[in-house]
């Protein structure tokens, strides 16, 4: 009896130990060449649970008024690495990375929308439709540094998107990615108000995220000068090896003044997308975002040879990436998203 009991006890202990090891198999970066999806993963919470998003007391909240923090990935400039703008990648980012938001960065200049309207728009609609099918949120990003020069094109595009998708809560509009060092009061705010007016003709409810001065960093410009729309948040971008406590202080001042923020783009590298990775500052930023309930998307799903790219060169254009396909940044960010979402 004692031998039988001991054997049963050892079997039980061994099984518990192997289960505990299984929890962490996605962390190492060695020898894993198979797709990484874990069949035991709990389905990510997204549109089915949160529903229509809105802003209350400078926080993004769900249909029941409960604060929501979205975490996901941004695609790269659509005209340069458009191969990942497909339904399989969206599906993989939801299932394996546990993303509940994806950002479609439609390039405007340099061979983008202004020169190839139909081609670039088709990529964005492919991602939007895939996100809706997967039940996650999608940020429609006018990826431009000179939006005020392209106001009429932006108005026409966002009017079309709003008409097409006005009845679904998945859509989040981003009318201007990263303005340069131009005035919030005389340039950016009027630009946003004009685009928002076109969106609201068709879609009165979905969130809009407005870019801010100086590469979407001077969110303090918005203090006491917000746009008169209850469901507008403001864009904060950072790269952890470049932007540190000073930018967090600027962000905190805006938050304390009632300005809702959304980090539609960040990196763990320098602002160039390369240089170095600062893991300590990356952790500080993630903690700051969590403390303040700020949603975020990492830059980017790309296989470019630079540190901010989540993928190594020639990674499968249809997702199904093994850990060995991911860069250092990709491994860090995937782990963060899976742990929190």
Q: Which residues are catalytic?
A: 178, 265
What is the phi/psi pair of residue 262, to 5°? -145, 125
Q: How far apart are CA 178 and CA 141, in angstroms?
A: 10
The SS3 assignment for 245 reads helix
Is cis: bond before 166, omega within 30 of 0? Answer: no
The residue ranges of DSSP E strands in 193-321, in sequence order, are 208-210, 232-239, 261-267, 296-301
The number of C-alpha atoms within 13 Å of 136 and in the hemisphere containing its C-beta is 33
Q: Which residues contact 255 (CB under 8 A, 6 or more apart)?
A: 58, 261, 292
Note the helical H segments in the chain.
Answer: 2-22, 47-50, 87-95, 117-134, 151-165, 189-200, 213-216, 245-256, 279-291, 328-340
Q: Is 28 exposed, middle or buried (0-12, 13-18, 19+ CB in 10 A)?
A: exposed
Residue 237's nearest CA partner among 185, 196, 285, 303 is 285
Strand partners, 235: 262
| Count of CB atoms situated within 10 Å of the CB of 318 | 14
Residue 210's nearest CA partner among 242, 187, 240 is 187
H/E run at residue 61 = strand 59-61
Buried b (16+ CB within 10 A) or exposed e, 122-152: ebbbbbbbbbbebbbbbbbbbbbeebbebee
Kindly report the CA angle at 228 between 225 and 229, in degrees rounded to 5?
130
């Amino acid at each position: 009896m004692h031998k039988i009991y001991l054997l049963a006890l050892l079997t039980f202990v061994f099984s518990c130990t192997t289960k505990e090891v299984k929890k962490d198999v996605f962390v190492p970066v060695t020898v894993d060449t198979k797709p990484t999806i874990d069949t035991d993963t709990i389905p990510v919470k997204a549109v089915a649970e949160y529903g229509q998003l809105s802003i209350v007391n400078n926080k993004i909240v769900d249909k029941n008024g409960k604060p929501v923090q979205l975490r996901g990935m941004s695609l790269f400039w659509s005209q340069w690495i458009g191969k990942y703008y497909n339904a399989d990648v969206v599906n993989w980012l939801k299932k394996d990375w546990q993303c509940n938001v994806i950002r479609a960065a439609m390039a405007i200049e340099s061979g983008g929308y202004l020169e190839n309207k139909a081609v670039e728009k088709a990529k964005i609609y492919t991602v939007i439709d895939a996100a809706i099918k997967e039940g996650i949120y999608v940020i429609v990003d006018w990826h431009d540094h000179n939006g005020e020069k392209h106001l009429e094109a932006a108005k026409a595009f966002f009017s079309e998107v709003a008409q097409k998708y006005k009845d679904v809560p998945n859509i989040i509009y981003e009318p201007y990615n990263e303005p340069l060092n131009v005035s919030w009061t005389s340039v950016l705010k009027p630009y946003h108000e004009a685009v928002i007016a076109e969106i609201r003709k068709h879609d009165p409810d979905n969130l809009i995220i407005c870019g801010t001065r100086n590469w979407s960093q001077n969110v303090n410009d918005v203090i006491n000068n917000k746009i008169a729309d209850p469901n507008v948040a403001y864009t904060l971008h950072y790269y952890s090896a470049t932007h540190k406590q000073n930018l967090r202080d600027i962000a905190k001042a805006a938050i304390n003044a009632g300005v809702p923020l959304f980090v539609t783009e960040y990196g763990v590298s320098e602002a160039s997308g390369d240089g170095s990775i600062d893991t300590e500052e990356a952790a500080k930023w993630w903690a700051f975002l969590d403390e303040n309930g700020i949603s975020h998307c990492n830059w980017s799903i790309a296989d470019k040879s630079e540190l901010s790219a989540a993928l190594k060169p020639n990674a499968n254009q249809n997702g199904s990436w093994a850990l060995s396909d991911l860069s250092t940044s990709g491994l860090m960010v995937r782990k963060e998203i899976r742990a929190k979402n």
